[in-house]
Amino acid sequence: MAYKIAKLPGDGIGPEIVEQAEKVMNAIGEKYNHEFRFEFGITGATAIDQVGNPYPEETHQLCMDADAVLFGAIGDPKFDNNPKAKVRPEQGLLEMRKRLQLFANIRPVRTFESLLDKSPLRADLVKGADFIVIRELTGGVYYGEPRGRSEDGNKAYDTTIYTRDEVVRITELAFDYARKRKKKLTAIDKANVLATSRLWRQTIQEMEKDYQDVEVEYMLVDNAAMQIIQWPTKFDVMVTENMFGDILSDESSVITGSLGMLPSASIGIHTSVFEPIHGSFPQGAGKDIANPLATVLSAAMLLESLNLVEEARKVEAAVDASMNAGVVTQDITRGKAYGTKAVGDWLANYILKS
């Protein structure tokens, strides 16, 4: 069967890591008799430089027509803290989320035996940690209006808005994930202070009757931030609003010991997007040192979204095998460091031969 994949490498190391994921998917295609048709689109700083828009219309149409989007990274230091910049690369990511209606960000957090000593937390705390943060992605303070600053610049304001339908939509997805795992859901909010959080909690409480097989726990976000560090193995599926999810998923990412190992999926009304959670690492671009494993694991999530479950498990097995064999980049190696392309070649070869 043929699948159309929009390939958006983006900036910095994006092209290098997406290239390795493409190799792996092509190996899967060869082994399982699938065809993946990759179609290239520009985004981020690269797109600003070429057409002045970080998410041009041509790229949007490419995404809309695709079965899935494989995304690299966005960001360029020349736009950082630059008051003269009229548009920034990150605006392209927000625009893509909005126009594709990517309402849910899925971030799995799983520790790897060979990386336990690289976590800033004690190995006995993080060993066995395996949970998912489900973040609402198109509402909340990042998109609320009005926002702005007073004329004298001494006051600023943002608005947080959520509707019941938005909460129901993301929570239904979270319940579905919980049912496929350990049947435990942690709903994270700030209901003791925020009206929007009280709406979240009330809505989820009303939904519980339809998911009686799932244990639901409610937790304030400050307590959750503490417990993720103290007892990361106690969590399974978490669901929360946009800003809280942004912060908690980044906090959770350090548990594994490397940002280069964490994939993500943004689930949409139209086309879903699969990307590593790390940034564009511009200082590493073109040096063949970037860790491609998070992007490869994002490709596994992409495959699973297409109901290619066996194929997704094969990609995950290849990543585990590469780590056990020490075929990894310099950020997680215990000995010899392999280049980005060499790791991609090894993974593709493993898939074809195993």
Which sequence positions are flagged as catalytic? 142, 190, 222, 246, 250
Strand partners, 274: 70, 265
CA pair distance 337, 341, nearest whole angstrom: 12
The backbone torsions φ and ψ at residue 293, rounded to the nearest 5 degrees and listed phi first, read -65, -35
Q: Is 87 exposed, middle or buried (0-12, 13-18, 19+ CB in 10 A)?
A: middle
Work out the widest C-alpha separation in the chain, in whole angstroms: 66
Q: What is the DSSP letter of 55?
A: S
Closest to 4 in 3D by CA, of 56, 59, 65, 57: 65
Closest to 203 in 3D by CA, of 140, 195, 220, 160: 195
For residue 111, give the 3-state DSSP assignment: coil
Q: Hey, CA dihedral for 284, 288, 289, 295, is it positive or negative?
A: positive
The tokens describing 45, both together, are 């700083």
What element of type H or E holds 304? Answer: helix 293-305
